[in-house]
Amino acid sequence: MRCPCRKKSETTGYAACCESYHAGLRLAPTAEALMRSRYSAFAIGNAAYLLATWHASTRPADLELLPGEEWVQLRVLAVREAGNEASVEFVARSRRGGSTLALHETSRFVREDGRWFYIDGRMKD
């Protein structure tokens, strides 16, 4: 299976990409890797991983993923990393109820004790 965070033209498999992060065998080494692994977690319905990689200061008590939402494409537009802070701008596309939706966001990340966490995101028009 191709990893959900990769382009359809890429052959990188899930096992060689995000699966080890989701299984807790490795930590994402960069904010971009964490963002990609979080996208893949949305795509496969892994809410536990999303909560575990969300910073405690902004993490919700629980997370309910939308049933019937199919994540179909991720495009990373920009990555900015400075020390223990980073941002990743991306466009993620999903399908739900016959409609294709685009989420254009700049996500903020922080690294604590060598581990990256998602802080929050700002939507773009």
SS3 labels along 11-80: CCEHHHCCHHHHCCCCCCCCHHHHHHHHHHHHHHCCHHHHHHCECCCCCCCCCCCCCCCEEEEEEEEEEE
Q: What average pLDDT does the segment 77-83 reach?
A: 97
Residue 94 counted as domain residue: yes
Give domain status of residue 3, yes or no.
no
> What's the domain range around 74?
14-123
Cβ-contact 86, 109 below 8 angstroms: yes
pLDDT for 113 equals 96
- Asked if residue 1 belongs to a domain, the reply is no
CATH code for the domain in which residue 88 is found: 3.10.450.50
Q: Is 90 exceeded by the pLDDT of residue 10?
A: no
Amino acid (one-letter) located at 109: F
How many distinct structural domains can be found in the chain? 1
Residues 25-79: tens digit of each pLDDT: 999 999 999 999 999 999 999 999 999 999 999 999 999 998 889 999 999 999 9
Name the band, by pLDDT with cuts 50, 70 and 90, for residue 1.
confident
Q: Collapsing DSSP states into helix, strand and coil, what is residue 94? A: strand
Q: What is the mean pLDDT of the chain?
A: 95
Query: Global pTM?
Result: 0.95
Q: Residue 6 falls within a domain, yes or no?
A: no
